[in-house]
Structure 1
Amino acid sequence: MILKHFAFCCGIGMLFFSCGNSEEKTFPKRENISESVYASGLIRARYQYQAFANANGIVQEIFVQEGDTVNIGTPILSIYNESARLNRESAELNRAYADRQANQTRLQDLEMSIAYSRSKYQNDSVLLERQKRLREQGIGTAVDLEQRQLAFDNSKTGYEASKLRYIDLKREIEYNERSAAKNLSISRALESDLVLKSEVGGRVYALLKEKGEMVNAQTPLAVLGSDREFILEMQVDEYDIVKIQRGQKILVSMDSYRGEVFEAIITKINPLMDERSKSFTVEGVFIKEPPVLYPNLTLEANIVIQTKEDALILPRSFILNEKNVITADKDTVAVQLGLRDYQKAEIITGIDEKTEVIKPGK
């Protein structure tokens, strides 16, 4: 019994020893490999923006529903503001009061005054010349001549003054008319701000306020954007941004299309880094868009930096410290790596396709 027990234990020991010595091995293979940079982000509608109204008040009426298509200038909602309406009505009254036609009587009164002053000036001029001729003939006194000269001077001054008053009044009426028209335009513009209109042709993706709610100039009221064109908005780490260039290929996966990969290209690199996330915003467009897209769908992307065909490839789990491999003979061999992704790496020097390597232990 003791011998049987000893043999059983030895058998169990040999089994554990054999299992403990099992090693995962592989050979390098020739494959294509791409180096890529990982990025995460969202789908955005092109020209997507939050709409604000440059006015304070209460949402009076909503003209569209979420999902509706709109054109540039389509009314989205209106805001009620009593003071804006009263200001516009006051400006209309001022404009009517300052109208040139409404002030024609004042101009006509001065025109009549000018005509009278001109007639008096001409008459006094004739009388002065006559008094001068009489004086030359010894008729009349020096006082009579002085009175005629004084009357002439006064009528001349009155005539010139009436012309100046007419010019001033005309300029005043023109100024008041233009000023009232400008004020009316401003009042109408402010009142038109009470109607929020679409700045793009596309779709209403969200209405952020309901009828009866109070809003101000800092309150976003709606989200609008293109209903046909979408862009990829991705965040790239600052350590990888120097590798990114416009025109590079992107492989995109989305939770909405599980198991599918879509191709896109880089179209824009925003040069300012976000200090909080230490990342840059990179934009791209699909080469062929998925059939259905919505703003704010999440995505994961691999931006392809470079690709190499028929490269000698080894899984990265078989590479020790990114510089060595262990051969089947237990030798540690230094290797030079080339392109690499998250699972495999290119072997440039150190081993070949006939070299069997062992997966390093953890």
Structure 2
Amino acid sequence: MKTLLTLAGIGLLLLACKSKTATYTVQSRTLNEAVYASGEIMPEAYYFLKANSADLLLKVPVKEGDNVKQNEILAVLGTPSQLEQVDILHRQVALAGSNAQAGSAALTELKNRIALAKTQQEQDALNADRYTELAKSKAVSEKDAEQARVQAASSATQYKTLQDQYKSLQNDLSGKLLQAQQQLAATSQSREGKVLKSPVDGRVYKVYLKTGELAQLNDPIVMVGIPGRFKLELLVDERDISKIRLDQKVYFETDVYKGKQFVATVNKIIPLLQKESRSFQVEAAVQDTALFYPQSSVEANIVVRERVTGLVVPSDYLMKGDSVYLQQGKELHKTAVVTGIRSGDWVEIKSGLKAGDVVAIKEGR
């Protein structure tokens, strides 16, 4: 990709001919000053779901291109026995919860016994009172009255014992439920990072491993992002970063749509030098709504000044060391120049040439 910012209607006028020398007459043109950057296009928001330890990839219930909901399971790591253990604990919690409910079989059976004991206790209490009164009038013997009182006391004790048993059983079943829940929570906590869920409503862009493969620590398993909106992640040379400002226009191309130009706007400048490349990362929000493909490479020009008028020559005429061949009559003289803006196929000449001068490309230079 060579030209990104040539103005509409301006073409490169080369006086190519069959002779050994091509010439160009220096003149003023309007240019845009831009900074070159390269990088890749990514969803506006995206996430790499990674392994937090070396683990076997048990299952991936989604495929690339699937739309997913927030908290939907995208991948499960671990061993089959670990999954089975979690399933068992879930069933134990469900069973313990069912047993601890007031309507469970064990509590209902004991509750029925309590109801019968209460009825018996009430009957025996009435019978004891009646026999006691009858004994006073000698209608029954004192021995029979005493026996009735003993029976009433026994019934009351049985009723109280069954009530205590009910409370004890309730506490025991609640304790088993709590224990099962604690075991499940502990196991689930140890498996945090093993069940990877989508952090957003979005789209699966990439599945990096297959079921049964071993994922190493911090290996990406799935890439998920929000579709429809994209951004550029660009690298700008440290010598140019001082020219970059928020809201500057960015014109870019990608090989996916070869020959087509798109527009973005700078919305983030990360002020940390990447030592390996001696560059800074700049992000730009893509304005177009085309179907872009994440991690596609892009080349871009960030416009730092628009519509600057100055003397220009085609970049092909400029030699190393910023010099050109100036034609004077039939002779060519190597002349040093001071350059300014470089925009596409054009280079601004700040000094060393004047309008109307003729520069040339010398064959075999």
Shorter-chain TM-score category?
0.5 to 0.7
Structure showing greater Rg: 1
Note the C-alpha offset of 1:230: 1.5
Q: Retained in 1: the 8 A contact 2:96–2:176?
A: no
Residue identity matched to 1:296: Q
* Aligned position for 1:202: 202
Q: In structure 2, do the counterparts of structure 1 residues 325 and 209 end up closer, same or farther at CA, with 3 Å as the change threshold?
A: closer
Q: What SS is found at the alignment partner of 2:242? A: helix
Q: What SS is found at the alignment partner of 1:228? A: coil
Greater shift, 74-83 or 235-244, is seen at: 74-83
- Structure 2, unmatched stretches of 5+, are 1-16, 103-173
Q: Retained in 2: the 8 A contact 1:323–1:337?
A: no
CA distance, structure 1, for counterparts of residue 205 and residue 230 of structure 2 = 13
Note the C-alpha offset of 1:73: 0.9
Q: In structure 2, do the counterparts of structure 1 residues 334 and 209 end up closer, same or farther at CA, with 3 Å as the change threshold?
A: closer
Q: Retained in 2: the 8 A contact 1:28–1:312?
A: yes
* Aligned position for 1:155: none
* Aligned position for 1:71: 69
* Aligned position for 1:339: 341
Note the C-alpha offset of 1:282: 1.8
Q: In structure 2, do the counterparts of structure 1 residues 175 and 335 end up closer, same or farther at CA, with 3 Å as the change threshold?
A: same
Q: In structure 2, do the counterparts of structure 1 residues 22 and 200 end up closer, same or farther at CA, with 3 Å as the change threshold?
A: same
1:210-225 matches, cutoff 5 A = 210-215=210-215, 218-225=218-225
CA distance, structure 1, for counterparts of residue 324 and residue 193 of structure 2 = 69
CA displacement, residues 283-319 of structure 1 (integer Å, 9 cap, x when unaligned): 2122223x22111211111222223344222224445
CA displacement, residues 196-248 of structure 1 (integer Å, 9 cap, x when unaligned): 21112211122233334455664432121122121111222223223222222
Q: In structure 2, do the counterparts of structure 1 residues 83 and 333 end up closer, same or farther at CA, with 3 Å as the change threshold?
A: closer
- Is residue 266 of structure 1 aligned with residue 296 of structure 2? no
Residue identity matched to 2:34: S
Q: Retained in 2: the 8 A contact 1:325–1:335?
A: no
CA RMSD of aligned residues (A): 4.1
* Aligned position for 2:292: 293
Indicate the percent of aligned positions where both proteins have the same amino acid: 28
* Aligned position for 2:162: none
Q: What SS is found at the alignment partner of 2:222? A: strand
Q: What SS is found at the alignment partner of 2:185? A: helix
* Aligned position for 1:29: 27
- Report the count of equivalent residues: 270
Q: What SS is found at the alignment partner of 1:270? A: strand
CA distance, structure 2, for counterparts of residue 212 and residue 266 of structure 1 = 42
* Aligned position for 1:256: 256
Q: Retained in 2: the 8 A contact 1:47–1:225?
A: yes
* Aligned position for 2:354: 352
Q: In structure 2, do the counterparts of structure 1 residues 92 and 222 end up closer, same or farther at CA, with 3 Å as the change threshold?
A: same
Q: Retained in 2: the 8 A contact 1:56–1:215?
A: yes
1:207-246 matches, cutoff 5 A = 207-215=207-215, 218-246=218-246
CA distance, structure 2, for counterparts of residue 35 and residue 309 of structure 1 = 7
CA distance, structure 1, for counterparts of residue 180 and residue 258 of structure 2 = 64
Q: In structure 2, do the counterparts of structure 1 residues 249 and 185 end up closer, same or farther at CA, with 3 Å as the change threshold?
A: same
Q: What SS is found at the alignment partner of 2:271? A: coil
CA distance, structure 2, for counterparts of residue 276 and residue 359 of structure 1 = 37
- Structure 1, unmatched stretches of 5+, are 1-18, 102-173
Q: In structure 2, do the counterparts of structure 1 residues 278 and 176 end up closer, same or farther at CA, with 3 Å as the change threshold?
A: farther
**Greater share of residues in helix:** 1
